[in-house]
Amino acid sequence: MEFGISTFADVMPDPHTGVTISQAERIRQVVDDIVLADELGVDFYGVGEHHRPEFAVSSPAIVLAAAAGKTKHITLGSAVTVLSTSDPIRVYQDFATIDAISNGRAELLVGRGAFTESFPLFGFDLNQYDLLFDERLELLLKARDNEFVTWKGKTRSPIDNLGVYPRTEKPLNISMALGGSRSTVMKAAKLGLPVVLAMLGGNIVDFSNYATLYRAVAQESRHDSDQLKFSVQAHGFVLNDNKETADTFFPYIQYYRNHLLGERGFPPYTRDEFDYARSPGQGLFVGGPEEVADKILLLRKHLNIDRFIIQMPLATMPHDIVQEAISVYATKVIPLVREKIEAED
């Protein structure tokens, strides 16, 4: 089992001071965090794409390329690349380049995205939301699997036997993001693509239905089960003490949720709601090392996951606290989970 971290490079006012750091500073922090995670033995680091002021990274590939030259072992991926509004040929080329710089450590996670700002920004019709993604995924996979590409669709100009470079030394690892839609789960399974399920709260056990459906459809489609990596990404934060972690993290997740979900009509986020969401069996991975490790083990038991990715921080926390959390996750949570898995086996 592998362990990762992801970030959206949040840029929001500190709820204690009201200070907002620059987007440039936040991007530099992310690169530093990836370097630290690599030094501490974390398996994966993912960076998300957004096009709004609360998130600093609009091009994960450039940030990952910067990190590729400073790291040695960690796998570097997007989390996610908004494929619907990106040119799939350019996306393949960018990640093939990262793969070359990093000596084979690039991964590409594609999705439709939870926000829609990129559609008007890049001149795409939101009414073609599904068609754009489906056609671009088809073209992306053609580019991965073929040096010379021929393709025709409705949302992009055709390609007639043109070469796509650079080529990777082995096929680029491309996964699909799942947000809870059964149709997306089935599409990924039929294509034989690895998946990353976004677990944004709820009961952990309830998500097992997605893993069961994915593996059943993939088996029916005669895909190699060894290639079908099922990962989960969840919000979380971990320090050395359970109560300390909760008290430290709550003001930031409260600001994050009130700001981003408040604009969608959600009620204010309360401490009671937070404490329930992080209680045993629930899908917010906030606590001390034991509490977070126990939730990861519960995920493994019911979903048989291949990789767990903790998305942290939410909002913009002081960088020294974020790096402390990365250290605790790497040096205490991960060894604890591995120790318990070894004992079970």
220-277 pLDDT per residue, tens: 999 987 779 999 999 999 999 999 999 999 999 999 999 998 888 899 999 999 999 9
3-state secondary structure at position 148: strand
| Pair of tokens at residue 210 | 């997605």
Q: What amino acid is encoded at 328 in this protein? A: V
> How far apart are alpha carbons 191 and 230 in whole angstroms?
14
Give the pLDDT confidence score for residue 344 in this predicted structure. Answer: 87
Cα 223–chain centre separation: 24
Determine if the pTM surpasses 0.75: yes
**Residue found by looking up tokens 């393949």 in the block:** 92
Q: Is the pLDDT of residue 173 over 90?
A: yes
| Pair of tokens at residue 173 | 């690892």
- Which CATH code for domain 2-344? 3.20.20.30
- Tens of pLDDT, residue by residue over 59-87, are 999 999 999 999 999 999 999 999 999 99
Give the pLDDT confidence score for residue 104 in this predicted structure. Answer: 99
* Element (DSSP H or E) covering residue 309: strand 307-311
Mean pLDDT throughout 203-212?
97
Give the pLDDT confidence score for residue 260 in this predicted structure. Answer: 94
What residues are paired with 77 via a beta bridge? Answer: 46, 107
> How far apart are alpha carbons 299 and 12 in whole angstroms?
30
Q: Is the pLDDT of residue 53 over 90?
A: yes
Strands (E), 148-272: 148-151, 159-163, 173-178, 195-199, 230-238
Confidence of residue 31 (pLDDT cuts 50, 70, 90): very high
- Cβ–Cβ < 8 Å for 328, 239: yes
Give the pLDDT confidence score for residue 186 in this predicted structure. Answer: 97
According to the 3-state scheme, what is the secondary structure of 58-109?
A: CCHHHHHHHHHCCCCCCEEEECCEEHHHCCHHHHHHHHHHHHHHCCCCEEEE
| Pair of tokens at residue 68 | 């590729």
Mean pLDDT throughout 339-343?
96
> How far apart are alpha carbons 342 and 2 in whole angstroms?
14
Q: Are strands 195-199 and 285-287 parallel, antiparallel or unpaired?
A: unpaired
End-to-end CA distance of the chain: 13
Domain ranges of the chain: 2-344
| Pair of tokens at residue 242 | 């359970």
